[in-house]
Amino acid sequence: MAKNKKTIGIAFPKVQFVEGGAETHIASLHAALEERKFAISRIDLPFSFSPPRQLIRDCLAWRLLDVSKSYLKKVDLLIATKFPSYVAQHPNKVVYVLHQHREVYELWDGPYCQFKKSEEDLGIRDAIVSIDNTCLREAKAVFANSKRVAERLKRYNGIDSKVLYAPPRLTNVFRCESSEPFLFCPGRLEMNKRVDFILNALAKAKSKTKCIITGRGPQLSALQKLAKKLKISNRVEFKGWVDEKTLIDLYSRCLGVLFAPKDEDLGFVTLEAFLSKKPVITTESSGAVLEFVTDEETGFVSETDASAFGQKIDELAGDAKRAARMGEAGYDIASRFNWDYIIENLTSHSG
């Protein structure tokens, strides 16, 4: 395949020392573009969301950056991603929104929001909304990585977007082995991932099913203490960060996956579970996860209540054949997604 003459910049705000779904999404996008012989340049700037006034400084940094060329080479297309990378100016900018700064939108005035109702913080919120309204409308096209993200764009900013579901990394590597009697809970250990909720649900479950939790994050110590307090330490194993081989192995052997984030933007955990032919238990308040998990078809959707979630755990643990059928149904959904459609949409505006 001949090298594509179009040069593309991918703009991404990088939180230092953090690797999550957004980071792997961008790495996969980069790789997909390179496979199709585009000339790619990553444009990463450090991102810090604390203190709140730093958000405005980060916006200014992106606005002042010249992303139209690199060492005298023209950048034909800029693909901006999450806030505040889309503040950057480019004559041919498209935005693939992974998420906005959620604390000034749907997370405002809640437990996952650092802002106070001070005059300064209210001013910062208004400024960010205004920046979004202006800079997103500069784009040739706006895409969202889920219906939930698209709904937020429409609700809060009046901006229409097209949904492009991305496949998770390692799509062709996930596999399914015979189920073993344990549940799997992968991901970053952050407050909004609500692993504490999952621990409380495990304590309520009658089946006493074991659960393996992987990932790292600031909530690790608190979660370990909670497991001890709930007297389920013998049923919960915190493995910390695991390599790709171990991650794939755990997905392949588990009975099902527990994933109960707060209003998730997309949630690659769901798609990774489905590609491993495993069902997912989630909650009615888990956002974009519900775009894939259908109750009693590809998993279970519980009320956001630990006892109710625990009952779903019991249902799954009590019927391995049913779990396998739901996993197969999930695979039929996740296996449809590929990068061809996404790249075609993103690059059709490259002039």
Q: Which domains are seen in the chain, by residue range?
A: 7-164 (3.40.50.2000), 182-334 (3.40.50.2000)
Q: Which residue has the tokens 């344990």?
A: 182
Q: Which of 167, 165, 149, 146 is nearest to 31 (CA)?
A: 167
Instruction: Output the six-digit token pair for 35.
Output: 């496979």
The total of other beta-carbon atoms located within 10 Å of residue 141's CB is: 15
Q: Which residue has the tokens 């480019």?
A: 90
Pairing of strands 141-144, 162-163: parallel
Q: Which of 227, 153, 160 is nearest to 196 (CA)?
A: 227
> The whole model's pTM is what?
0.92
Task: Please list the pLDDT of the chain residue by residue as tens digits (351 residues).
Answer: 555 678 999 999 988 877 778 888 999 999 999 999 999 999 999 998 888 999 999 999 999 999 998 777 899 999 999 999 999 999 999 999 999 999 999 999 999 899 998 999 999 999 999 999 999 999 999 999 999 999 999 999 999 999 999 998 888 999 999 999 999 999 999 999 999 999 999 999 999 899 999 999 999 999 999 999 999 999 999 999 999 999 999 999 999 999 999 999 998 999 999 999 999 999 999 999 999 999 999 999 999 999 999 999 999 999 999 999 999 999 999 999 999 999 999 999 755
d(CA 214, CA 241): 6
Instruction: Output the six-digit token pair for 5.
Output: 């003459």
Q: Which residue has the tokens 């909650």?
A: 283
102 phi and psi, to 5 degrees? -65, -25
